[in-house]
Structure 1
Amino acid sequence: MTRPFPAVMTQGIDEPSRFEGEVYDLEVTDGAIPAEIDGLLVQAVPDQAFPPEVDHLYLMTVAAGGDGAVRAFRFKDGHADFRTRYVRTERFVLERQARRSLFGNYRDPFSDDPSVAGKSRTTANTALFFHADRLFACKEDGLAYEVDPGTLETRGAWTAEGGITSKTFTAHPKTDRERGKLIGFGYAAKGETTRDIAYYVIDDAGKVEHEAWLEAPVGAMIHDCAATENYTILPLMPITSDLERLRSGGPHFIYDPDMPQIFGILPRYGDADTVRWFRGPPGFTGHTVNAFEDEDGKIVFDVLEADGNGFAPVITDRAGQAPPPGSVSSALVRWRIDYNGASLTLSDRTVLATVNGEGPHIDPRRELRSHRHVFVPTLDRSKLATDQNGRPQPVMFNQLSHFDLETGARDNWYPGPAATFQDPVFFPRSQDAPEGDGFLIALLNHPLEGRSELVVLESLRLSAGPVARIKLPMRMRLGIHSTWIDGTQVPAWS
């Protein structure tokens, strides 16, 4: 590589790793990994393989534009092994052949090298999901890529045997485990900034059994979704796109504080004629928690909602402004929505808890059903460490939190100053364990020390601290979403 990375990408623990490899039998430095834990923790990681070659580098490119790598930890019999490997997307292969970056800013084809015009830009760097005994890495600007859960080798772009005709597929499909269905969609489905949405129901064999094309009222990010037994919810975020802005060299997304919250809701096998667009007061709709239908047939939709720009500072408003990191608060909000009601105005909203965090997890056995326990990495601003000049250290989430929606209780584990969590996973202790009784496993970064570790905690005893701490012999740059796959579904590693 003959070109250095820009300074903004080489600061601290989150500079590019550009590393593939494995460590067999990680060192447990404290406690013991419970022998009953059997599964695979996988995380999507944006990790630039080559420095971007653009005149103006947007922070969204730095944070979310990196080539996708799969970080994986296989737990079995009280041991943990580690592997990491890049996803061989079309983009990654082209750039490796050229030994330089060919694709420009985040979701901006106008900033690309002319040699890759019309090629897939996706990096598959945002999340992983498991369906039909197959593992997929995805980023919402392109198709998902299938990855072998043992070797992490890339098997290719996934179209569900040609059934997915959209150019894009969400990073957050939902699974109806009881019926073996995957509910997903692609927004900007016909190309960047379009309002087209392709909606899919995929069966337990991985084949499309329902496709519908919709048009959103606004060209905006639809990062997540939710599903009930009979309905699908598509929340539009106040992060809007514009083709002319993109053509003129501006950022793909900007934050629009005046945009109402908009939820597109349609029956599971619905289409453009049955989708209804509900609107509420402005608010930043974050990741969904869960959804289900109550005894009256109304949709109960739990979601994290921020009181400002939840993507600050990587996305600014029209004036190029963004609040400081950690200054925006979030809450766990419950909406009740009557799909068949006369009004399209959202009004039945309840704040269940003040959270100040993101990336919620529930017991997967309660998906599409009422739930009690929610686990979230959160930020306690009163515990932020400062440097010698009194400036807060760069911490995203400094504790793991458990919210009991039945009692209103909250339990936290704080690992100490200047430590920051990556996205955890939750899984039940056993299939017949009470709801929420299981384990949380999370990557914990110590930026000032340049090191990372894995921590294993009992989910209903977070404040007791880890039952195991696992040393990682290298720093782990910030990944995005993590997923847990039960060991019965994937082979043990050799």
Structure 2
Amino acid sequence: MQTTSDLRGHLFPDTRVFTGYAAPVRIEGEVHDLEVVGTIPRELDGAYYRNSADHAHPPLFDNDIFLNGDGMVHMVRLENGHADLTTRYVQTTKLKLERKARRALFGAYRNSFTDLPEVAGQDNNTANTAVMWHHGKLYALKESGRPYELDPLTLATLGERDFDGQLQSKTFTAHPKYDPETGECIAFGYNTQGVADKRIEVYTIAADGHFTRTEAFEAPYSSMVHDFLVSRNYIAFVICPMVCDWERVQRGEPYWHWDSTKKTQIAIFSRQEGVKSIRWYTCPVAAMQTHSFNAWEESIEGSTVLHLDHFVTGSGWLSQFPDIHDPDAHERPPFGERWSFNLSDGQDWFEIRRLINHVGEMPVIDPRYAMRRATQFYFGTSNTALGPMLPLGPKGPPFTCLGHYDETRDTFDFYYAGPDSSPEEPYFVPRSADAPEGDGWLMCMVGRRAENRTDLVILDAKKLSQGPVATIKFPCRVHEGFHGTWVSAKALSW
């Protein structure tokens, strides 16, 4: 099998994914005492972790996508107003085999039929999407594989984990949900045996890491189930027409295609009763949930109404995967929506309304308000009234701003990162355990594209437009990433 890289040599392709600010960084190391502009709040004692897809080797195919990079975790340790940076690759089976060979051996995203013969049957998990802190352990997550445990102090890889045999699936979500009242983690896996199927497994994991419930249900078709929602009493899955056809995969085509002829369907079931209580709802339009804010319930005139707050688009992630019917289709921007389900009326119907009438993605809330009503919403966005859009990147238009929507006042506030600067996903850290909702800080990586460098900014979450209270300057660029988390020094026992 002759690959594109055989013809190109040991070079990265000259494509949007591998050039400019998106180019692989591949640097592992430590920087002690980063430069700080402003003052890091003394209450911020702990570590911010985030995951990224950073190709360690030139890919087998020139048209490789952003999502197929190797997991590189970045940690910024904050203590007494100082900041230290650590960057480490997750030592996956894939990375170890490719490092030994000094070249790429695995092919297209999640498609083992495009791998080289010498790695046939080997795990292609890149562990590149998110980080999870639960039961005192840190994990790197990718929804196509099992978690990899990392040393939270050094980022050294401790190994792939199945939670002492409790996880039978070969896959585990990159978007687990955490119950702030019970300490439970609610998680799931799809395509659980590594091939396209309709089975979805759901897990309830106690605060000590013990699986208290594992069960499964079938979706209408094999769908990308990237995120889901959990309220105090219910679990909801949005099954969208980003579909996998195994015959296409075997032919070497992309793992996912957007098929707008299929209906978006929503599964809702009780956390207490489990999947035996599942009910299905049909969305009136083809829609994809990109990422979720929160789910919550309220009683209205004696009826239980479940609200799902999330970003939704009318297309799939066409920057990464094609439209099965229209290869020239363009990705549509996501908007914040609230889907409301009357669980008491027995009808296959729900109300859709625009919650955030502003293009956005990478949504977060104050994590103390997960699974109950939240009113403060934060997200990545752009605002041309503050600055121009940036050139298209490998995962779509880069953000130029962070947004804050205060539902109680119906107001927006924006942090504009500056010319040639691109904020990534924010993360909310409360000022204290008993602070009011939204009283705290947003942490966010910001790409300084003109300088080919990265900052970590800390903003007062109630005063985004006033700019950072602290800007932690990296002396180099770290790769654009996806999802992160904050862990206090107390939790880490530092």
TM-score by length of structure 2 reads 0.93
CA deviation string 1:121-164 (max 9, x = no partner): 11110001111011111100011111111010111112111111
Of 188, 201, 204, the residue aligned with 1:201 is 204
Q: Say whether residues 1:186 and 2:177 are aligned partners.
A: no
1:49 corresponds to 2:56: yes
| Alpha-carbon distance between aligned partners in 2 of 1:185 and 1:179, rounded to the nearest angstrom | 18
CA RMSD between the two structures: 1.9
1:288 partnered with 2:292 = yes
Does 2:22 match 1:19?
A: no
The one of 304, 312, 315 equivalent to 2:318 is 312
Question: Relative to structure 1, is the Cα distance of residues 369 and 312 closer, same or farther in structure 2, using a 3 angstrom cutoff?
Answer: same
Which residue in 1 is equivalent to 2:339? 335
Verify the 8 A CA contact 1:313 1:323 in the aligned structure 2. Answer: no
Spell out, residue by residue over 1:209-232, the C-alpha distance to the aligned partner (whole angstroms, 9 max, x if none). Answer: 111121111111000111112211
User: 2:213 maps to which residue?
Assistant: 210
| Structure-to-structure mapping, 1:151-162, within 5 angstroms | 151-162=154-165
Could you tell me how far apart the structure 2 residues matched to 1:323 and 1:444 are? 30
User: Match of 1:354?
Assistant: 357
How many residues are paired up? 479
Q: How much has 1:323 moved relative to structure 2?
A: 5.1
Equivalent pair of 1:212/1:270 in contact (CA under 8 Å): no
What's the offset of the Cα at 1:34? 1.4
- Match of 1:274, SS? strand
TM-fit CA distance, 1:393: 6.3
Task: Give the structure 1 partner of residue 442 of structure 2.
Answer: 440
1:381 and 1:106, CA in 2 relative to 1: closer, same or farther beyond 3 A?
farther
2:334 maps to amino acid: S
Q: Which residue is 2:406 aligned to?
A: 404
Instruction: Determine helix, strand or coil for the equivalent of 1:179.
Output: coil
2:176 aligned partner: 173
Kept in 1, the 8 Å contact 2:40–2:81? The answer is yes
The alpha-carbon distance between structure 1 residues 436 and 310, as it changes in their structure 2 partners (threshold 3 A), is farther
Cα contact 2:147–2:161 (8 A) shared by 1: yes
1:234 aligns with 2:241: no
Using a 3 Å threshold, how does the CA distance of structure 1 residues 458 and 322 change in structure 2: closer, same or farther?
A: farther
Question: TM-score when scaled to structure 1?
Answer: 0.93
Does structure 2 retain, via aligned residues, the 8 Å contact 1:221–1:236?
yes
Deviations 1:4-45 (CA, angstroms, capped at 9, x unpaired): 1111243111111111101011111x2111112112111111
CA contact (8 A) 2:417 2:423 kept: no
2:463 partner SS: helix
Relative distance call for 1:216 and 1:43 in structure 2 (3 A) is same
Q: 1:467-482 residue pairs with structure 2 within 5 A?
A: 467-482=469-484
- Conserved in 1, the CA contact under 8 Å of 2:387 and 2:416? no
| 5+ long unaligned stretches in structure 2 | none
Q: Distance in 2 between matches of 1:340 and 1:297?
A: 6
Return the match for 2:429 from 424, 427, 430.
427
Between the aligned partners of 1:409 and 1:267, the Cα distance in structure 2 is 34
Percent sequence identity is 37
Letter of the 1:11 counterpart = T
Shift, 1:172, TM fit = 0.3
Q: Report if the CA contact (8 A) 2:242-2:316 is conserved.
A: no
Q: Distance in 2 between matches of 1:50 and 1:347?
A: 47
The answer to whether the 8 Å contact 1:145/1:157 transfers is yes
1:243 aligns to 2:250 (yes or no): no
Contact preservation (8 Å) 1:198, 1:214: yes
Measure how far apart 1:244 and its partner are.
0.7
Q: Distance in 1 between matches of 2:264 and 2:67?
A: 24
Equivalent residue letter for 1:146:
E
Q: Which residue of 2 aligns with 1:463?
A: 465
1:40 corresponds to which of 30, 36, 47: 47
Match of 2:416 among 400, 410, 414: 414
The secondary structure found in structure 1 opposite 2:264 is strand
SS at match of 1:337: strand
Taking the TM superposition and a 5 Å limit, the aligned residue runs for 1:139-154 are 139-154=142-157
